[in-house]
A and B are shown apart, each in its own frame.
Chain A
Amino acid sequence: MIAAVHAEWTKLRTSPGMAWLLLAAVAATVAVSWAAVAATTCRNAGGCGVDPAKLSLTGVQLGQAVVAIVAVMVIGGEYGTGMHRITLAAVPRRGFVLAAKAAVVTAVTAPAAALGVAGSLLAARPSLRPNGLPSLSIDDDQVMRAAAGSVLYLALIALLALGIATAVRNSAAATGFVLGLLYLFPILAQSVSDEKWQRNLLKIGPMTAGLAIQATRDLAGLPIAPWKGLGVLALWSLGALLLGGAILSRRDA
């Protein structure tokens, strides 16, 4: 297993563009977070009910797309070039291959996510007060939960994408599938006029449930509680990995 992880690490480390993609994930997260805070102004003394943690972490909405690309390429690239035959010949226990890939994907996306999240909070902080928004305190447990939860969120998105890409076996289709799964739930929920259905859609969608972890205000009004929401996403990721693993071991390479 250690050898398998080592092999996967070498492949990931040497695949072209991977470092750039991880850098892009950090940059995209920080840039969008900064822009969202800069574009939001409030003239009321009450802070307009803005959740400063959630607003400062808006960039995760874009960062997750780049993280998903990284994860898809870890497996999709092998299917594309036929490399997976060599991989499976070297490590015949196919479950090990997927587990090793999951380990290295987590190992590279989690630090990138942590950088992106920390960068977002740092970039957003100076603009909050001048724009009339409530300030952000790092000591606050809720803020820490939102920040650490966002890192976990991005890592779970990477695992979800890895599982789907293993099952779909085509990079482009897998990317479309993952991003569709993430972005379609909130759009559908917005167009549903029935409030009960709307909340149900927000509760089961991997992105809408998972991002509940970023909320630090009005927790009672959320469709799903923060950690519960992240749990829903974890179930999605686990399901995708199990499906990917099952297809990987059943099918002809």
Chain B
Amino acid sequence: MRALIHSEWTKFRTVRGWVIGMAVAGFVILGFGLLPSFQGSCGGRGPQSDCVLPVGPEGQAVTDGFMFVHQPLTGDFSLTVRVASITGVLPPGPGQDEMREGVAPWTKAGLLIKDGTTQGSAYAAVMLTGGHGVRMQHNFVHDTAGMAGSVNSPRWLRLTRTQQKITGEESADGTAWTTVGTVTLAGLPSTAQVGLFVASPQYAEVDDESSFGSFSSYGGFTIATALFDNLSRAEGWQGKRIGGPDNMDDELGSFEETGDGSVRVTGSGDIAPAVGGPAGIGTGLTDTLVGTFAGLIFIVVIAAMFVTAEYRRGLIRTTLAASPGRGKVLAAKATVMAAVSFVVGTVAAAIVVTLGQEVLRGNGVYVHPASFATELRIIAGTGLLLAVAAALSVGLGALLRRGTTAVAAVIVTVVLPYLLAIAVLPPAAGDWLLRVAPAAAFALQQSLIEYPQVLNLYIPQAGYFPLPPWAGLAVLAGWAAAVLGLAAHLLRRRDA
């Protein structure tokens, strides 16, 4: 097998056109990624317009803006309140210009403890939500579900601090309590800001009235008002719009104490990880890798020719005479092509991912930071995606024995489904296609993270793939294995 791989490697290395083609594939990925064609508005209107998102205690970019009715509390405490009701307004629907009445699914109202009032600081909160019942959340990315509930049925909430441990409890009647969750906020100072909060996030929905192919969505900010009563601490409350201007009492954030522990709080914004796409801002690292499609076409052409050129020139007879194990010959060809493609893809992606984001940021586009592990997965994933696609192409070349049909088959199964999903088909059909077609492997390049606790359009158009990265690769690998298996079988049976 080693001798076979060596001989196939020699065949590849000595055809100048193929080596140049592989290099061009790499440069194409670089070129599209580093081309300064995307322009954003960040920083374009002076220093105030810089897109700087607060960073949470665990390193993610976060949204941290809400109405906080708070006071500093030192040491351990327990605070109880009843959420009597939540009402609110949603952005106008398509073709309308009035805000609609309604509460967004992830509108939050409840009790919160926070390490100061700076955006991005550590917090823990127990809350009633618009459509997801009672939740205990902390540090932006963690979310624990409590019981289901509705904005119209009152719900008791309690937040208790025991040193670094924060416990959230809920009750329907104020006597029988259930624990929603207990979390540890490491490094929480002995004096923390504690109080009532209301947040109502950005809202987005696919516009059903828009024509398919020109996907559009609508949405905007929402506002919610919560009525709290039976607050166990009556004195000393002050209001602050976290992440907003200091002047109080505008429509996006206000509070009013109505006596005997009743408080009406109005707020907007969200306490959650920041997302890209229609309900968020900016883009992900994936946008720097658009050149992968062009690079893929070069690689697929070379990989198909790597097999079909032998048929054209009759070299296949020499090859098969030299090594009668025909399955092994095919395996060696696929290995060499996959290895070369992996190296080209990985090197190009590594450069694009590191330099490309700087280019985009320089152009004023907000690029969501990704963790090191995610960057590594995107870089190696681009290499793997190209490697398996090259193996698929080798298999189709051996199966069809014609470069034209093999190349067309790979492009049509790998590139076309992606195109149909993002630009032609309605989201549901596109979603299905990206689960079964080899194009599923592009999930390896997804950099944005899907958070169930943030309402957003998690669709391919916005950079979210239906399958997790490795499952996507498995789909492509399954296709490649099936095609290579069939090709090996036919190669043994057919006359060369």
Contacts and interface: CB of A to CB of B under 8 A. Distances in A.
Chain A interface helix/strand/loop/mixed: helix
B208 to A, nearest CB: 5
A193 B39 contact: yes
A171 B405 CA distance: 9
B404 interface: yes
A183 B304 contact: no
Interface-central residue, A55, A65, A179, A218, by most chain B CB under 10 Å: A179
Interface in B278-307: 283, 287, 290, 293-294, 297-298, 300-301, 304-305
Interface of B: 32, 37-40, 208-214, 283, 287, 290, 293-294, 297-298, 300-301, 304-305, 308, 312, 365, 402-408, 411-412, 415-416, 418-420, 422-426, 428-429, 432, 461
Contacts of A193: 38-40, 283, 365
Given A187-B293, A193-B40, 11 more contacts: A49-B212, A50-B212, A51-B213, A62-B412, A80-B312, A175-B301, A175-B403, A183-B416, A183-B419, A193-B38, A218-B211
Interface-central residue, A39, A46, A193, by most chain B CB under 10 Å: A193
B426 A61 contact: no
A46 B210 CA distance: 11
A25 B346 CA distance: 36
Contacts of A174: 404
A175 B293 contact: no
Contacts, number: 132
Contacts of B37: 192, 194, 197
Interface stretch (A68-76, A85-93, A101-109, A143-151): A68-76
Chain B interface helix/strand/loop/mixed: helix
Contacts of A66: 408
A147 B213 CA distance: 18
A55 to B, nearest CB: 7
A48 interface: yes
A171 B209 contact: no
B209 A192 contact: no
B211 to A, nearest CB: 4
A183 B301 CA distance: 15
Nearest to B308: A172
A61 B416 contact: yes
Contact of B293 (A61, A80, A184, A194): A184
Given A39-B428, A54-B213, A218-B211, A69 B294 contact: no
Nearest to B207: A49
B289 to A, nearest CB: 9
Interface-central residue, B37, B38, B407, B424, by most chain A CB under 10 Å: B407
Contacts of B287: 191
A173 interface: yes
Given A65-B408, A183-B293, A183-B419, A176 B301 contact: yes
